[in-house]
Structure 1
Amino acid sequence: MTSLRPSFSTCQHAWPNLVSFMTSKLGLVTDFPWDEGAATGVGSHPGEDGLSALKTVFDEVPVPYLPELPGRGVGADMIGRTASLLVDLPVEVQPSGWRFSDRPGRDFKRARDHLLRDLDMLEEVSQGYTGALKIQVCGPWTLAGAVELRHGDKTLADKGAVRDLIDSLADGLAAHVADVRKRVPGAGLIVQVDEPGLPGVLAGTVPTASGFGRLAAVEEQPAADGLRRVLAVTPFPIVHCCAPRVPFSLFGTAGARGISLDASLLRRADEDRIGETVEAGIALLLGVLPGVDSRLPEPAAVAHPARELWRRLGFRPEELARQVLLTPSCGLAGASPAYAKAALVRCREAARVLREDPEAE
């Protein structure tokens, strides 16, 4: 097995199970860093104007976040942006995509510069801000399925390399969190870990670097252990997965305090697992609007999927606006700037409906 860094032995924690027991059996209220009737975005925005995007999210949603602008090119994408946080694991871009390299080069520096400029703008826009604030990073399993080793295989193909990647990401994310806290000292920081690729990792459908084969599936417990190592360095971790077959129990076991998903992909078969997630005191961030330009329904219609799900699960209506946030279904990078702003406004208006009239049909 390839060794990228000295290995780190992960350990299991009983805390997620304890939270589940106390919340579901004793009826304790779980604290969240947002007020009732909150809304936020998933992360990405269209265009290249980071300052404008930041001003939009701080103006329009109760839980602002640090936007990502992949339209700026190499290094502004989800993979490159997170790879710039890795400690002692430099990357570069090859024709096939991101790959580990011997030393930091132009691509790594470009990705890092994008992030640092965004953090400088965040510090400027957030002067005096107090309240919930969200940042986003790519999760370890999605990253391992995307970044290649020096000899061309994907990191996911090598267990030792995966361990090193997880350790490096945890160390880099801890430093990133500390930096954001210094820049926005009044923020209640939420860290969203994006794992759209994890269902494929668990199912064994991730293609090899050549594209002619599939990488072996990763079992649920090792996947949870690796994710837990990364979530453990964050103050309030949520996991975003906008793919079908969201692994709810894995995310809970790994220590997620919230799960972000596309509500349109939910099936009735998912509802037992969603109910267990809610009983465990884990928040739901429900994506209720398309991430690309489309007609926006009225706020009550946008709120309806959340209210209907809550009703079918049998939870008290007055808890809905506390434990559920509304978001677009995924990132907004493929939308127009006007639609991106309008979608956030509509999510905010629909979240207010959940707070003021949770039982309406």
Structure 2
Amino acid sequence: MVSGRIIKLVFFELLEFAAFSVPTLVMMEQFAASYQNIMNRADRTHYWLIVSCSIAYVAAVSLLIWVPIKVILFKKRHLYKKIVGWRPVLMMCVVLTTLPSFSFSIAVTEIQKNATGSVSVSSSDVLLDLPVSLILLSLIIVDIIERLRIYPLRGRQMSNEDKDNHITSLQQIKTVTEQVGRGDENSAPAQTAKPTMMSLPPTNMAALAGPIEPSFDSGIRRTMSHRDVRSELFLRSFLTWSDTIEMMRVAGLPAVYQSGWVYPVYIFSFISLLRMIFTPKNPLLSSLGVLLQDIPFFFLRLSIIVSLGSITPVLGLFKNILVTLSYIYFNHLTKLRPFSAFETSPF
């Protein structure tokens, strides 16, 4: 009987290969269909030639790059352990799938412009859905699979937050017990004063300053309070790329296509996707998120709003500003003397 680990491995590999190959095939087919419509010929030689080239490209990169690297990562575990801070599978998807897909998406627009002088609304609606829903969805699927590999698919898994709360509760109980023990041993009643906020360790100060979280031991509330890191992993993966998805939605608007803003939008969106190559817990990921996404998106959104009006939501602009300023302040300015004083809030 086939084991569950083999089924899990085969299922994940098939999903990753589909996410790796399908976007390029679909985008090149759209390019071939647009080119055939512009040529307006009964002969479909050019269409099938482009489709054949797309199939040949996917087959070549799969056999020469994808499959050998997958086999090496599976067979040579000592080599896999030497890969620190980045993910080769996501790098292959970003470079070999996303980059060609974005290129052919822009090529379809150029064909429409050269033929009619402007992009039709119907073609832009098609291009709007494909980059956002197909290309980015494929990358997110691969990202989720790479994160989910280390977890079992059966059985209940405690989330990291639950573990942290459990450890914090034990530390608080231990601290209170030690304080009570020291209070009993102290013979002077005047010295058994209640500990202040500043006399407690920083971890306990943070726990006392924040609101008390509820805990449910029975009933429907206990069932609703179950938290599993594997389900939260899906949510985090989609939320991480919501800003890029919104920017790609802006790229699909006819005003952006016709004004030429589609090039910087696609370029900076692709640059923001380079963060997928790094592991989720890489210490450099926060700074890379600001440098590769928030700062470029801020100037891009501001330029589009000034040039074309409120096409992109102002909320995204404020998000980029606040994320950038908070990163600079809490990571760099707080090290300076005027901002280095430690403060606690009683509420």
By percentage of residues, which structure has more strand? Answer: 1
Higher helix share: 2
Larger of the two Rg values belongs to structure: 2
TM-score range, shorter chain: under 0.3
| TM score, norm. by length of structure 2 | 0.23
Q: Could you tell me the TM-score, scaled by structure 1's length?
A: 0.22
